[in-house]
Amino acid sequence: MSVKDNDVSVMSQCVDVHAVCVDLTDWHKTQSAVKSLGHIDLLINNAGVSKPLPFTDVAVDTFDWQVAAFLVA
């Protein structure tokens, strides 16, 4: 069973489940997505990014992007 199949299986067992994909490093998009849902009983945040590079080759923008995804999101 793939992860996607498992998501569908779990969601089919619940009465009112909504999956929303949003760039959590973009505060305005995140805020808009949350407001569009109304009341939230449970929120699962699964954020993570990767751009494998040697540390000395990581650009400032890449570093900022990773920090935003892991700490801000």
Which pLDDT band, with edges at 50, 70 and 90, does 3 fall under?
low
Segment 32-69, tens digit of pLDDT: 998 998 888 888 777 778 888 898 999 999 988 888 88
pTM: predicted TM-score of the whole model, two decimal places:
0.51
What pLDDT was estimated at residue 4? 55
**Residue 66 near residue 49, CB atoms below 8 Å:** yes
Domain count along the chain: 1
* Full domain range(s) for residue 55: 3-72
